[in-house]
Structure 1
């Protein structure tokens, strides 16, 4: 399967690009190395890779902006790498939609391990109907007040209007909508949406919920101090 997977490595340091690509090719992945985000965006438009290893500090457009653009169109796995070790940069990367964040200098073997795990989760979502351990694979529409999910079509509606969602956003909503009023810990949500082998911080849950709230401002998801989140059960007419 690896030979069918194309991984783009975007870094303006050619030595890092060559090193990462060499380790990936040893695992039989196909690779393409790029030095700028502009080149990477052009590749996305013409021959989109299956996964990105993306540096933040790039000439011209930076990695944050490239990540944001890619994430508006797809849930393809993204690992961000950077010499910046500040919590702010890690949080921003996760908030923009990256799946993981590594600080330079890093172990190429660890990077390859994280890439394998991200790809495994991605294929689980797209070929096995999602990784949620809490949500059954029922095909019936799921409704909660003005929220309506169509699992078979992976579509979300609010007040009858369709809202574009990435795969993780959809899975998070499905967990909440199928268990209204249930309080979930961040760890439970991480396991359900990202899988039980997730490497990163539980702050990823907070950032994903922020993304959902930006798309649907009145979404009835409540923070539970010191615990996690729940979605209130709401009545009302569901528009088709």
Structure 2
């Protein structure tokens, strides 16, 4: 079965090039010029991935990304003419999985699409051997069900938030470098910077403000606990 990709881009030249390359690789592509059109598609036939421009008429790509993330962890690749670090960080904080700056190589886009589908089907660095649950202080993870509970309350988390929490919970008190976390959570072929790790940790801390997810300055992160995980 073909993966279905929604492409939201108002530049017809980019539309045609992206659609042609995706179809050549065996994907089904639905091209739209506005976020409003894309939302209608989402309500009727949800794509397996979005390729999303930021500068759109009407609702912009940031707002659309935010709306999608309220309902789903579907992979999102953001494309934009903006290459400022602030814009990239904002896109990732709102739930984007990757960020491409225009002009970009269509082959690079296809490579990132393949990588994200691979990551979604088998998160790197996370053991697929099922544990019934993992408990670290007030954090409870049901691994096979991919559910997170904090102080007894279930939280909505994205795929990468879950994968990072699972990895750290299985290795309590161990410090991971940012480079290690990039490889284990995003995969060895990830193209972005290790700032993505910082953005992911920031999102987790917003949802779990008193989680003992510590910064190891100049190195990375660890989940601290006086108890061992079970």
Question: If the TM-score is normalised by the length of the shorter chain, which range does it land in?
Answer: over 0.9
Do structure 1's residue 37 and structure 2's residue 35 form an aligned pair? yes
* TM-score (norm. length: structure 1): 0.91
1:218 to 2:210 alignment: yes
Shift in Å, 1:132: 2.2
1:222-233 matched pairs, under 5 angstroms: 222-233=214-225
2:199 & 2:155 partners in 1: Cα distance? 18
1:144 and 1:90 map into 2 onto residues whose CA distance is: 32
- Give the CA deviation at 1:235: 4.6
CA distance in 2, matches of 1:168, 1:71: 12
Q: Distance in 1 between matches of 2:129 and 2:204?
A: 22
Quick check: 1:144–1:234 contact (8 Å CA) kept in 2? no
Q: How far apart, in 2, do the equivalents of 1:32 and 1:90 lie? A: 25
- The offset of 1:148, in angstroms, is 0.5
The count of aligned residue pairs is: 229
Paired with 2:22 and 2:129, the residues of 1 have a C-alpha distance of 34
- Distance in 2, Cα, partners of 1:29 & 1:186: 33
- In structure 2, the residue matched to 1:186 is 178
Q: Give runs of aligned pairs for residues 155-166 of structure 1, distance below 5 A.
A: 155-166=147-158
For 1:108 and 1:165, how far apart are their aligned partners in 2?
31
Contact between 1:9 and 1:53, CA under 8 Å: does it hold in 2? yes
Q: Quick one: which of 10, 13, 32 aligns to 2:11? A: 13
Distance 1:72 1:186 in 2: 27
User: Aligned to 2:167, what secondary structure does the other structure show?
Assistant: helix
1:104 is matched with: 102
Matched, 1:204 2:202: no
Partner of 2:84: 86
Instruction: State the distance in 2 between where 1:54 and 1:136 align.
Output: 31
Question: For 2:128 and 2:59, how far apart are their aligned partners in 1?
Answer: 41
Indicate whether 1:117 and 2:115 are aligned.
yes
What's the CA shift for 1:100?
1.2
User: What is aligned with 2:137?
Assistant: 145
Aligned-residue Cα RMSD (Å) equals 1.7
TM value normalised by structure 2: 0.94
Cα offset, 1:141, TM superposition: 1.0
Q: Which of 157, 160, 170 is the matching residue for 2:162?
A: 170
CA distances 1:42-95 after superposition (whole Å, capped 9, x unpaired): 211211101111000001111011111112222211111111111111111111
